[in-house]
Amino acid sequence: MILITGSSGQVGSYLVERIDGSIGLDKKPSKYTKIVQDIRGNLEDALRNYEIDAIVHAAAQVSVVKSVEDPKFDAENNVIGTLNLLEYARKHDVENFIYISSAAVYGEPKYLPIDEKHPTEPKSPYGLSKLVGEKYALLYGELYGLKVASIRPFNIFSDRQDPSSPYTGVISIFVQNALRGKPLIIHGDGKQTRDFVNVDDVVSLIKIVLEKSATGIYNCGTGIEVSILELARTVIELSGREVDIKYDAPRPGDIKHSRADISSAISIGFVPSTDLRRDLKRFFFSG
């Protein structure tokens, strides 16, 4: 059986749907969550009735902004929670452990595209906690024989992002504002770029890693840069609304540019399918 942590979240919910023989664990109940349990808590009791062969660890505190406001809470979830899962995996001879990391581990790029050998100098507590969790996972692989892979997604988007959360992704915030006729707020000058990858591609890479018992670190993105201003204009066009774009101060911890080198993922069979305009329309404007 494959345990999916964070099964109420954006990535975890899709994983439960699309990976046969999987079971979801999350501290929040949902239709994707069979086991309601905080990853920092007693996993022995929560999982006593299950034979776990692999863990895909997607549970995390995922907000850069929240991590800056409360770095201790961020570390408790992303470091201690991960370590608790790794200890369970070690004690119960779980064969495969896939850690869902983040492109935030890189910090401000020294060069583009960013490959897996790029220096890791996070600019936020979130990026740091994801890097520490990743290093713990990889070390457990070396020390205890776990087959560990770390996947570093860039900017994931899907229709399961939560636009009501103040910490959600820029895409869902832009879409919500556009549909309500409210201005789209850009933090900074709008020239900052991101590599937006749809959730289907993230799930695809995770499934490939599982099927091949691949180990190591893999970027998950498209290799394409899109500016935040271009994103805003595309959302407005697709919404069919006449709304303004306004500018605000840059957010602490944000980087200027981002673009993934996905050569390692391609080498194990990954083929990205993301088309930003098409996927925005499919996820948010098809109705």
What's the fold here for domain 2-284? Rossmann fold (3.40.50)
Q: Which of 192, 166, 195, 197 is nearest to 260 (CA)?
A: 195
What pLDDT sits at residue 57?
98
What pLDDT sits at residue 163?
66
Q: Which of 184, 167, 272, 163 is nearest to 234 (CA)?
A: 184
Output the CA angle 65-272-12, nearest 5 degrees.
Answer: 50
CB 161 within 8 A of CB 222: no
Q: Two tokens at 211? A: 């099927």
pLDDT tens digit at each of 287 positions of the chain: 999 999 999 999 999 999 999 999 999 999 999 999 999 999 999 999 999 999 999 999 998 889 989 999 999 999 999 999 999 999 999 999 999 999 999 999 999 999 999 999 999 999 999 999 999 999 999 999 999 999 999 999 999 987 666 556 899 999 999 999 999 999 999 999 999 999 999 999 999 999 999 999 999 999 999 999 999 999 999 999 999 999 999 987 678 999 999 999 999 999 999 999 999 999 999 86
pTM of the model as a whole: 0.95
217: left (phi over 0), alpha (psi -120 to 50) or beta: beta
What own/partner pairs with CB < 8 Å and gap ≥ 24 does 72-75 have? 74/125, 74/126, 74/129, 75/125, 75/129, 75/132
Output the CA angle 222-225-230, nearest 5 degrees.
Answer: 125
The pairing of strands 193-194 and 226-227 is antiparallel
Domain extents in the chain = 2-284
Distances (CA, A) of 67 to 71, 75, 101, 189, 213: 5, 8, 15, 23, 32
- Catalytic residues, by residue number, are 126
What pLDDT sits at residue 164?
61
